């Protein structure tokens, strides 16, 4: 067992994106969602030989700096609703970060739809509808072509 390092989180930098919770192999960062709120709970210390959370964090909010007991950090975020179906989508802070960092031309598709406002299910449905419309002509009866005899 390695000496415990203090897991410090700069709350003002955290956007609640959950990247750290996804990559943590030890379950020391736990994310839960209920009532349109996302909670990220960070353990006070970490004794693992690892720095995945710090490496994955897009905003540099996590530090593994020094020893000490520290205290558990709990951050809460309100989830913005999907513009199509109203399902909980993502923290406003995370969407603001994406808008600020993704090039403008990649935030909308060819039809001008802003992808960031849609949940994964609505994105898939929209793509499926467009794909269906795009190939509908293939299902139309073939035209009779008269060849000279
Ligand atoms: S350093 Fe690794 S094990 Fe420790 S909290 Fe971060 S991701 Fe989890
Ligand atoms: S990866 Fe960084 S910004 Fe995302 S939830 Fe973890 S600490 Fe916050």
Of 11, 18, 37, 90, which is best to mutate to test ligand 2, by the most ligand atoms within 8 angstroms of its C-beta? 18
Q: CA-CA distance, 54 to 24, in Å (whole number)?
A: 10
Q: CA-CA distance, 116 to 104, in Å (whole number)?
A: 11
> What is the DSSP secondary structure assignment for residue 147, as one 8-state letter?
P
Name beta bridge partners: 42: 29, 73
Three-state DSSP class for residue 86: coil
pLDDT in tens, 26-69: 999 999 999 999 999 999 999 999 999 999 999 999 999 876 66
- pTM for the predicted model, two decimal places: 0.84
Which domains does the chain possess? 5-78 (3.30.70.20), 80-135 (no CATH)
The token pair at 17 is 């994106």
pLDDT in tens, 99-115: 999 998 888 888 888 88
Q: How far is the CA of 2 from the centre of ligand 2 (A)?
A: 24
């Amino acid at each position: 067992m390695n000496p415990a390092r203090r897991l410090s989180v700069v709350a003002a930098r955290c956007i609640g994106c959950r990247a750290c919770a996804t990559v943590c192999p030890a379950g020391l960062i736990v994310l839960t969602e209920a009532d349109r709120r996302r909670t990220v709970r960070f353990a006070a210390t970490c004794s693992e030989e690892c720095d995945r959370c710090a490496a994955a964090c897009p905003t540099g909010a996590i530090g593994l700096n020094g020893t000490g007991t520290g205290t558990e950090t709990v951050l809460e975020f309100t989830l913005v609703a999907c513009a199509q179906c109203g399902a909980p989508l993502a923290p406003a802070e995370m969407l603001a970060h994406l808008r600020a960092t993704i090039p403008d031309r990649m935030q909308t598709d060819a039809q001008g739809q802003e992808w960031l406002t849609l949940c994964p299910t609505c994105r898939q449905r929209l793509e499926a509808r467009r794909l269906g419309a795009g190939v509908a002509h293939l299902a139309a009866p073939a035209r009779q072509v008269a060849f000279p005899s």
